[in-house]
Amino acid sequence: MAWLADGRALPGKLFIVEGIDGSGKSTQLDMLRKWLVGQGYCVAFSEWNSSPIVRTITRRGKKKQLLTPTSFSFIHAADFADRMERQMLPALKGGAIVLADRYVYTAFARDAARGVHPDWVRQVYSFAIQPTEAFYFRVTMDESLTRISSGRPELKYYEAGMDLGLSKDPQESYKLFQSRILEQYEKMIAEFELRVIDAALPLLAQHDQVREIVQPHLSGALLAERRGWREVLATEALEGRYLDEIVGPGGEP
């Protein structure tokens, strides 16, 4: 079950992953998705900061450095609300499994690290659905830095927390900012019953732990009707040449 803010249960299941950049949470969520899809479940996916309505505002704010801690907080809340109203809530009402890469805890951690009042942020997000399980991938600062610096050219302004004026050096600022965020995550483990996964473990060992926690929630979850077209191809001797043009992100038309 996932729960509405007022306590009513929704038929779908909501699994979310949290952790700082470089914790490997997105990789783990992707593995979880493939496993669930492979078993035939109807799976929807939602990613932090991806609402098409809000994206242009966020981009503008970042590019022109217009953002303050409060407007930063609101923009992300708007992004989250839009994805909740249009993606997550309808899917959960329909009984699907919803996977979210980052959830309200990201906002709680980052906003608090920017000096926004924690109670206020929690109130702002009080409309959020309570997840079935929330995973926190715990990683040390050094490990996360090693992982992210190998994959990309340089740290971005807000990502490094440069708006806080902690340090003029992006690398240094990033460290200070992320350690504040880590501190916030640690505090939230008990408050929100986050499931802690040691992100230093081998990939598959982490995935096994995730599966074990998710498994008991799966009975009765909505199954997807997704193999029908394969049958048509097989029995009608078609190749599906034009299906390629309409394949969605899940590899299904």
Partner 1 sequence: MTEVSFYGHGLPGFKKKRLPGRLVVLEGTDGVGRSTQISLLREWLEKEGYAVGATGLKRGKLAGRGLRRAMRGHTLGNITMNLLYATDFVDRLERLIIPALRASFVVLTDRYIYSMIARAQVRGVDPVWVRNLFGFALIPDAVFYLQADVSHLVPRVLNARGFDHWESGMDFLRAPDYYESFVDYQTRLLAQFDAMAGEFGFVRIDANRGIHDVFQDLQAGIQEVVKDMKPPKHPKEGKKDAKRAK
Q: What are phi and psi of 130, to 5 degrees?
A: -80, 125
Q: What are phi and psi of 8, to 5 degrees?
A: -70, 140
Question: CB of 80 within 8 A of CB of 104?
Answer: yes
Residue type, 104: V
Identify which of residues 28 and 58 has a Cβ nearer to partner 1 in the complex: 58
Identify which of residues 81 and 196 has a Cβ nearer to partner 1 in the complex: 81
In this structure, are strands 13-18 and 97-101 parallel, antiparallel, or unpaired? parallel
Identify which of residues 62 and 147 has a Cβ nearer to partner 1 in the complex: 62
Encode 90-99: b = buried (16+ Cβ within 10 Å), e = exposed: ebbeeebbbb
Identify which of residues 77 and 145 has a Cβ nearer to partner 1 in the complex: 77
Compute the least distance from the CB of residue 48 to partner 1, in Å. Answer: 15
Identify which of residues 119 and 212 has a Cβ nearer to partner 1 in the complex: 119
- What are the Cα distances from residue 100, in Å, to 19, 60, 67, 117, 229? 12, 25, 25, 25, 28
Compute the least distance from the CB of residue 209 to partner 1, in Å. Answer: 34
Compute the least distance from the CB of residue 171 to partner 1, in Å. Answer: 24
Identify which of residues 55 and 187 has a Cβ nearer to partner 1 in the complex: 55
Cβ atoms < 10 Å from Cβ of 245: 7
* Element containing residue 44 per DSSP (H, E): strand 43-47
- Comparing CA positions, the residue from 176, 160, 163 lying closest to residue 68 is 163
Question: CB of 176 within 8 A of CB of 141?
Answer: no
Compute the least distance from the CB of residue 66 to partner 1, in Å. Answer: 5
Tokens of 79: 């992004």
Compute the least distance from the CB of residue 115 to partner 1, in Å. Answer: 5
Compute the least distance from the CB of residue 118 to partner 1, in Å. Answer: 10
Counting every residue written for the chain, the total comes to 253
What residues line the site for partner 1 (CB under 8 A)? 51, 53-54, 56-57, 60-61, 64, 66-71, 74-75, 77-78, 81-82, 84-86, 114-117, 119-120, 123-124, 126-127
